[in-house]
Structure 1
Amino acid sequence: MAVRLTRDDARRLAVRAQLLTGERPAGIVETIDALTIVNIEPTAAVAPSADLILWSRLGWPYQPADLMRLVEEDRAVFEWGGFYRAMTDLPLLLPEMRQRPQSAQAREWLAANEVFRREVMARLRAEGPLRASDIPDAAQVSWRSSGWTNNRNSMQLLEMLVLCGDVAISSRDAAGRLFDVADRVYPADVPILSDEEAARERAERRLTSLGIARTKGIAQPLEPVDVGEIGEEAVVDGAEGRWRVDADALARLDDVAPRTALLSPFDRLVFDRRRLEEIFGYEYLLEMYKPAAQRRWGYFALPILHGDRFVGKLDAKSDRKAGVLRVHAVHEDEPFSDEVRRAVDAEIQELGRWLGLEVVGAPAP
């Protein structure tokens, strides 16, 4: 028998799983561990995505320098596939790394550049960590692409070797990423799991972090949005098809303290646009890639969560030179009540204080 859920139930499951209730997590590692992934998209119209994601969970105690220390010194967090992850998840990824690269083109290119690969590994071993620009392009066969990677052989090789697990991202700074041999970044005593064990545990952790997910979803290159047959089968009133839910979370459905949050456009709660519309009835599109005249909500509009509902979008931009957070508009999906307006205004002010910027263009709470 499938569990029957209302949309209110489904929303509460999703919001609680993503640590967006009044009960905030204790620290950065605990947050990343619970979320499983934190997107690293560096666009900083307001702040880099990873920082917005962690601030929206932890609040003012979160500082980007603390995350960098955990990545670069403590090695409690690592970067792979465009996401920050808890180092305790490394065993779950090693089986996938062993299967990389997956495309025939990439495998053939690596095989044709075996000498180049050995030279790069030797240079990293002797001189690392290094930037891609520090690696001379000695490819035997150039990488062909219709996109920005065409002929960028050193970077393309490093990217592939990171996905394969031979190379790791050691750190980041304003100039970009530094790469090193993996055994100087990853721990040596990592449990070895079979492909099946790792895939199942990753799916279980994904469902715990999402609360509710589809059995099958739109294919993603590295991080799926579906969970297979993990968890309990469920149906959601007003949403077609079958879902999977985290059984432990079902027992705590009523224990959700609401709060207001401003989310990154790359936040996992809004990443699956289909689920977002089906469960939350919320329309959202990141418009940074659109011409300005075609934008409805703004270049980097932040989804506004109030309790277990999305209520609007915040169009804002950090102007560090002027020392202000410019609020261009607060788009209300439906007219805000006084209570919602006060809560949203207060959260905008909190965002400004965390950024160290004065908020201009929005009323004080």
Structure 2
Amino acid sequence: MATIERLALTDFRRRVVAGAFPDFQRLADAFSAMQFVQADPIRSPARAQDLMLRQRVNGYVAGELEATFPDLDAEEGYLFAYGFMTPEVWRELRWRPIRKLKKLERDVLDAVAELGEVHPRGLDERFGRKSVKNYWGGKSQQTKRILEHLHHHGYLRVARREKGIRVYQVPEQTDGQDSDPRARYRRLVMTTVHVFGASTKTMVVSELRNHNHLLPSRQERLAAVESLIEDGHLKEVQVAGITYLWRRENWLEEEVPDRVRILAPFDPLVRDRTRFQQLWGWDYRFEAYVPAAKRVRGYYAMPVLWRDQVIGWANANVADDRLKVQLGYVGKRPREKAFRMQTEAEVEATSKFLGLPSGAWELAW
């Protein structure tokens, strides 16, 4: 039976933070190493994928991922959330159970194969612009919904984007549809733990619920995770009564620098809200879809990391070509000179990332 390591909360927090921000010089290297980056369409002040990559790629600028996507070895799809991923990860999750395609779906698929690459608007002349109900209760163009459906089930891939809109093509066919579902699930577990860092079994299995078709029973899924521990692919560490899974290559013992980071709400460091509460002792909530009158911290309040502590949040927006940042704190604002200097440096770096001139920002403490 594998030995469970025990760590004090302070040591665990330091290691989790130290391993969360590998430093890359090139986007291609970062993407290959990270394996998955969650996507979100809200731009406040930039999309989540850009905010996350900014923290890990030197000189990264907003929109760089979308602009260079065709030249990256990259795919789009749904792991534990929708995002950008390596082809290896995409192949593991590509095929999903589906009923027989309807005639219109087959016709759309044939049209994409014929045209090579298709923007949703590129099918208007052939199929019209009929609207149907979408996931959120609103209206979407029928052919757009069919393209999304075909992509979700592995019949299409995203070739590139035009102003944020996915452009599709038919991918090369593989035999992934027939591969061992247990092996696929195990590999998805390894990818998920790689992305998040230390994670509980419950959290990993819950996050991968979109792939429950691979192993229909919860008992099977938990057994697959347990087998990774028994095989030595994952280790266990216990912190204040909670047992986490981790990968040795992600476990850094180095010190955390005196640095301020403004993080995306979906950054891997903060996305697991249960781990967040254990590490920092307060509950962070993403409030973009909360009615304005009920928001506590703001529409797109982003966690603020100082050293190895998430001490509060930042709301940021661009108005009149200036970045405006408003900080909020769980407790008292740190009074060290280093905190002020590092916060100003982070806001300056954020403004450059957004393509604004140096000094084009305002900071409300």
- TM interval, shorter chain, is 0.7 to 0.9
**Corresponding position of 1:158:** 147
Aligned-residue sequence identity (percent) comes to: 22
**Corresponding position of 1:76:** 73
**Number of aligned residues:** 334
**Corresponding position of 2:217:** none
Indicate the RMSD between aligned Cα atoms, in angstroms.
3.2
Q: Which one is further off, 284-293 or 148-157?
A: 148-157
State the one-letter code of the partner of 1:289: Y
**Corresponding position of 2:171:** 182
Report how far residue 277 of structure 1 moved.
0.7
Structure 1 regions of 5+ residues with no counterpart? 102-106
**Corresponding position of 2:274:** 274
Structure 2 regions of 5+ residues with no counterpart? 213-221, 229-233
**Corresponding position of 1:90:** 90
Residues 62-211 of structure 1 mapped to structure 2, 5 A cutoff = 62-64=60-62, 66-72=64-70, 74-81=71-78, 82-91=82-91, 93=92, 96-101=93-98, 107=99, 111=100, 113-135=101-123, 147-148=136-137, 152-174=141-163, 176-183=165-172, 194-211=180-197
Q: Within 1, Cα distance between the matches of 2:195 and 2:16?
A: 8
Q: Secondary structure at the match of 2:108?
A: helix
Report how far residue 69 of structure 1 moved.
4.6
Q: Is the Cα–Cα contact under 8 Å of residues 29 and 77 in structure 1 kept in the other structure?
A: no
Residues 316-327 of structure 1 mapped to structure 2, 5 A cutoff = 316-319=316-319, 322-327=320-325
The answer to whether 1:351 aligns with 2:337 is no
Which segments of structure 1 move beyond 4 Å, counting only runs of 4 or more? 136-139, 142-146, 149-152, 188-193, 221-224, 255-258
Q: Secondary structure at the match of 1:213?
A: coil
Q: Secondary structure at the match of 2:202?
A: coil
Report how far residue 125 of structure 1 moved.
1.2
State the one-letter code of the partner of 1:295: R
Q: Is the Cα–Cα contact under 8 Å of residues 303 and 313 in structure 1 kept in the other structure?
A: yes
- Residue 351 and residue 143 in structure 1: after superposition, are their counterparts in 2 closer, same or farther (change >3 A)? closer
Deviations 1:52-108 (A, max 9, x none): 11112224x113454235422x241221122011234333x2xx322334xxxxx3x
Q: Secondary structure at the match of 2:199?
A: strand
- Residue 2 and residue 341 in structure 1: after superposition, are their counterparts in 2 closer, same or farther (change >3 A)? same
**Corresponding position of 2:235:** 232
State the one-letter code of the partner of 1:24: D
Report how far residue 145 of structure 1 moved.
6.8
Q: Is the Cα–Cα contact under 8 Å of residues 317 and 324 in structure 2 kept in the other structure?
A: yes
Q: Is the Cα–Cα contact under 8 Å of residues 149 and 156 in structure 1 kept in the other structure?
A: no
Q: Which one is further off, 198-207 or 49-58?
A: 198-207
Deviations 1:151-208 (A, max 9, x none): 753233222211221111122122622122123xx9x799995333332223223323
- Residue 253 and residue 191 in structure 1: after superposition, are their counterparts in 2 closer, same or farther (change >3 A)? farther
- Residue 342 and residue 63 in structure 1: after superposition, are their counterparts in 2 closer, same or farther (change >3 A)? closer
